[in-house]
Amino acid sequence: MMTQFENNNFGDVLLNRHSVRHFDKDVKIPREELREMIKETITAPSACNLQAWQFIVVDTDEGKKKLHEFYMPFNNPQIDTSSAIIQIFGNTLAFKKYRALWDHMYEEKRISKEELDKVYNTFLPLYEHADKTMLTADAMVDSSLAAMQLMLVARAHGYETNAMAGYDAKKAASVMGLDPAQYVPVMGIAIGKPDKSAEELKSVRYPVDDILKFE
């Protein structure tokens, strides 16, 4: 199947994108396609290849009830009508799997022993001795890049999205079965087909010259 990225100019995909708050309840995205979208999402840039992200796909009524426990009511339309909400968390302890990842790359001969040793002597100690503030910041950046990529991937698959904040960050991880000491909530991405009969608010962006400076 030809994706929208292949079928259209990439700039058109970006410029035509808009936020959707009301989705078609009758559209159900197959889990295999959701899995494929996440697989495409995790090719996003990641600092030192740490991949400090975690995804929870919520596509059942039971799962959506959990989201209502920590999301603000203004997000109810997206939660209740979307095909799925993908809740994204930053993993502040992702570095604990870091050695195994690079060992695997070395075993597959993707990197040399010299390159492996360089990782062990630079990147790995950086994270092993980092404080929680740095680990959280890195996880938030990695996960935010993945979130934006997910929105573009979803559009390429023919769906629309809505990025959601507005929740109790202290509850999010524990309600979703994660350790709040390790996982920090970043955002939720509601995904599905838009309800064409719904009236959606059209946002206005500031002129580019208001937010752009060249040096």
Q: Which residue stretches of the chain have pLDDT < 70?
A: 1-18
pLDDT at residue number 200: 77
Residues linked to residue 90 through DSSP beta bridges, in sequence order: 53, 184
Q: Please report the domains of the chain, with CATH numbers, ordered by start residue.
A: 12-191 (3.40.109.10)
Residues linked to residue 160 through DSSP beta bridges, in sequence order: 192
What is the residue-wise DSSP string for the chain? ---HHHHS-HHHHHHT----S-B-TT----HHHHHHHHHHHTTS--GGG---EEEEEE-SHHHHHHHHTTB-GGGHHHHHHSSEEEEEEEETTGGGGHHHHHHHHHHTTSS-HHHHHHHHHTHHHHHHT--HHHHHHHHHHHHHHHHHHHHHHHHHTT-EEEEE--B-HHHHHHHTTS-TTTEEEEEEEEEE-B-TTS------PPPHHHH----
Sign of CA dihedral 179, 182, 186, 192: negative
Q: What is the pTM of this model?
A: 0.87
Q: Could you read off the pLDDT of 104-127 as tens digits, one per residue?
A: 999 999 999 999 999 899 888 999
pLDDT at residue number 16: 52
Residue 77 CA to residue 138 CA, distance in Å, equals 31
Burial 72-110 (b: 16+ CB within 10 A, else e): eeebebbbbbbbbbbbbbbbbebbeebeeebeeebeeee
Q: Could you read off the pLDDT of 61-80 as tens digits, one per residue?
A: 999 999 999 999 999 999 99
**Contact (CB, 8 A) for 142 and 46:** yes
pLDDT at residue number 9: 56
pLDDT at residue number 96: 93
